[in-house]
Amino acid sequence: MFHHGPASSPAYAACVARQCSGGGSEAPAQDRAVAPRWITHSAGGAHSAAIHLGDRSLNYICQRGGKALIGVAGLGGSAQGTRISVDGRAYSQSFIAQNGILYTTADSGSPLLRALMSGSGVEVASAGRRAGFPLTGSRAAIAQAAAACGIRP
């Protein structure tokens, strides 16, 4: 705002109205929604790639010498009847529910894992609830986590 002159100038007042009072055509910077992005995390020998949307998340989880899993948090309920699809294509996966998280396998080279790394969006449905997640950036994040586990996705 310092580009608009002293606080008493009309240009400064207009800038304040636009940026702070909702008087402009776009929301103030602090109110703009931040696009969700894939992140990686490592702790205690476990590695993950995840995307979070509010109280829901989709996670690729692995540990060196172990199996890789996909975990979906925030849908709750039973694993029975859980469905997963990438770009509208359904994948036949068995899920288990543990501590409120739905898990399925993410075997190296599996059609589901390849789709998660190359698609544009994934949807998980369970017990009448649905969660959709963007896959932009998933390839790099999943590859990084898998590499840390000694897995070639």
pLDDT tens digits in sequence order for the chain, 153 residues long: 344 345 555 665 555 555 454 444 444 444 456 789 999 999 999 999 999 999 999 999 999 999 999 999 999 888 999 999 999 999 999 999 999 999 999 999 999 999 999 999 999 999 889 999 999 999 999 999 999 999 988
pLDDT score recorded for residue 32: 55
Instruction: Say if CB 45 and CB 38 are below 8 A apart.
Output: no
For residue 42, is it left (φ>0), alpha (ψ between -120 and 50) or beta?
beta
Q: What is the reported pLDDT for 151?
A: 93
Residue 8 pLDDT: 55
3-state DSSP: the chain helix, strand, coil percent, rounded to 5? Answer: 25, 35, 40
Q: Please, are residues 134 and 121 in contact by the beta-carbon 8 Å criterion?
A: yes
Question: Cβ–Cβ contacts within 10 Å for residue 98, how many?
Answer: 9
